[in-house]
Amino acid sequence: MGSTPNQIPTRDQAYYFLDGSCVIQVQDHLFRVHRSLLERDSSFFQTVFSLPQATSVAEGRGGGEEGDAIVALEGHSDGHPIICQDSVDDFRALCWALYARPKDIIAQQKWLTVDIPRLIRIISMTHKYEYEHFEDWSWETLDAHSTTNADQFIPRCGGWVHVQKLLILCYQSGRLPFAQRLENEWLNIIRTSDASESRIAFDAALDAAEGSSYLRRFHGKAYYAYLKGIRIFQQGPVMSIANSDGYVDLGGPSTFNEPRRIHLCQGFWSLARLRSKLYTAPKIDDNPSCNKHTKECKRGWEAWWNEASKSASNDPGEFIQGMVSKLSGNSSMTYKNKDGARSAQVPCSNQLKEGVRQMAKIFDDSIPDHFLIPRD
Ligand SMILES: [Zn+2]
Q: Is residue 71 part of a domain?
A: yes
CA 264 / ligand 1 centre spacing (Å): 41
Q: Which residues contact 214 (CB under 8 A, 6 or more apart)?
A: 168, 171, 172
- Banded model confidence at residue 65, pLDDT cuts 50, 70, 90: very low
CA 298 / ligand 1 centre spacing (Å): 7
Q: Is residue 364 part of a domain?
A: yes
Q: Is residue 267 part of a domain?
A: no
Looking at residues 25-41, what average pLDDT do you find? Answer: 94
Give, rounded to a whole angstrom, the gap between the first and last alpha carbons of the chain.
31
**What pLDDT is stored for residue 3 in this prediction?**
46
- Domain limits for position 76: 10-93
In this prediction the pTM is: 0.86
Weakest mean pLDDT among 40-49, 54-63, 220-229: 54-63
Q: Is residue 57 part of a domain?
A: yes
Q: Which residues contact 376 (CB under 8 A, 6 or more apart)?
A: 213, 216
Could you give the percent of the chain with pLDDT greater than 90? 65
CA 366 / ligand 1 centre spacing (Å): 28
Beta strands in the chain (DSSP E): 10-16, 22-26, 29-33, 58-59, 69-70, 82-84, 334-336, 343-345
Q: Do 43 and 130 meet the contact criterion of CB atoms below 8 Å apart?
A: yes
Q: Is residue 270 part of a domain?
A: no
- Banded model confidence at residue 75, pLDDT cuts 50, 70, 90: confident
Q: Do 297 and 287 meet the contact criterion of CB atoms below 8 Å apart?
A: yes
Could you give the percent of the chain with pLDDT greater than 70? 89
Q: Is residue 100 part of a domain?
A: no
Give the count of domains, the chain.
2
CA 363 / ligand 1 centre spacing (Å): 25
Residue list, CB under 5 A from ion ligand 1:
287, 290, 293, 297, 347-348
CA 334 / ligand 1 centre spacing (Å): 13
- Banded model confidence at residue 251, pLDDT cuts 50, 70, 90: low
Q: What's the mean pLDDT when you consider all of the chain? A: 88
CA 95 to CA 87: how far, in whole Å?
13
Distance of CA 320 to the CA centre of its chain: 24
Out of 41, 76, 93, a domain closes at 93
Q: Is residue 124 part of a domain?
A: no
Distance of CA 21 to the CA centre of its chain: 41
CA 312 / ligand 1 centre spacing (Å): 25
CA 302 / ligand 1 centre spacing (Å): 13
Q: Which residues contact 91 (CB under 8 A, 6 or more apart)?
A: 24, 26, 29, 31, 84, 125
Q: What are phi and psi of 24, to 5 degrees?
A: -125, 130
Q: Is residue 340 part of a domain?
A: yes
Residues 300-358 have pLDDT tens digits of 899 999 988 988 899 999 999 999 998 887 777 888 776 666 677 888 888 899 999 99
CA 283 / ligand 1 centre spacing (Å): 13
Out of 58, 93, 128, a domain closes at 93
CA 297 / ligand 1 centre spacing (Å): 5
Q: Do 335 and 343 meet the contact criterion of CB atoms below 8 Å apart?
A: yes
Angle of CA points 29, 31, 37, to nearest 5°: 155
Out of 66, 93, 120, a domain closes at 93
